[in-house]
Every structure is written in C-alpha cells, then in structure tokens.
Amino acid sequence: MNNKDKAITYSLLTHIRNTGTLAKGPLDIFIPLIKRALSKMNSKGVFQGKSLLEIKNTANELYSIDFPIPVLKKILLEISKEINTEDTKHFILYNDGAFSLNQYM
C-alpha cells in the first residue's frame, strides 16, 4: 500500500470514528470488502484454507489494503455471525486460523 492509499484509508476511518455516520464502527466499512474477497475465492474453487493468510492475500490483491490478521479475524467473525444460520454454515473460521467456505457467492 502506498502512502496515498494509507492516507485515504486512515482519513476514512477517522471520519467514521468521529461522526459515526457511515457505519456503526470502524470495521463495518471493511466487511463488504472481505465478503467480496471470500466470494471471489469461492468462485475460483476455494472451499477451505489452512490459514487466514489466504484470505488476507486475496483481499490485498483486490484492494491493496494490508489487513492485520487480528483485524481480519474480527471482520471474519462478524461475517460468520451475519451469514450463518442454524441449518447452513456458509463460512466457518476455526481456532487455528483454518477456514471453510460453503456456497459463498
């Protein structure tokens, strides 16, 4: 990520934090980005992975944003709460960082 991209990202996060008008919290703005990354992975035939680094790398390729692993993990936990039901688990994040995707499009 170049300095211009970092400045834009941090400016946006500061605005969200100060006004609260674009999202409920600073991570909410990134949830759609990570959802798209998961969808892209799933459409390419990725249904599981051994590490969050696989998702991190896909997101970095798509957006040139270097998501820290702890932040990415929080985003992924929010996504799993949002999309999973009792009957169907579309995204599972395991404690060791492995994950599985099930019909996530």
- 3 state DSSP class of 88: coil
pLDDT at residue 64, rounded to an integer: 86
Distance (Å, whole) CA 64 – CA 73: 18
Which amino acid makes up residue 3? N
When pLDDT is averaged across residues 12-18 and rounded to a whole number, the result is 66
- 3 state DSSP class of 56: helix
Question: Is 103 a residue whose pLDDT tops 80?
Answer: no
Burial of 105 (0-12, 13-18, 19+ CB in 10 A): exposed
Question: Is 17 a residue whose pLDDT tops 70?
Answer: no
How many CB atoms sit inside 10 A of residue 57's CB?
A: 14
pLDDT at residue 27, rounded to an integer: 79
Over the stretch 40-97, which tens digit does the pLDDT of each residue have? 999 999 999 999 999 999 999 998 888 899 999 999 999 999 999 999 899 999 999 9
For the whole model, what pTM was predicted?
A: 0.77
What are the domain boundaries of the chain? 26-101
Distance (Å, whole) CA 105 – CA 88: 14
Q: Work out the pLDDT band at 12, boundaries 50, 70, 90.
A: low
Q: Work out the pLDDT band at 105, boundaries 50, 70, 90.
A: low
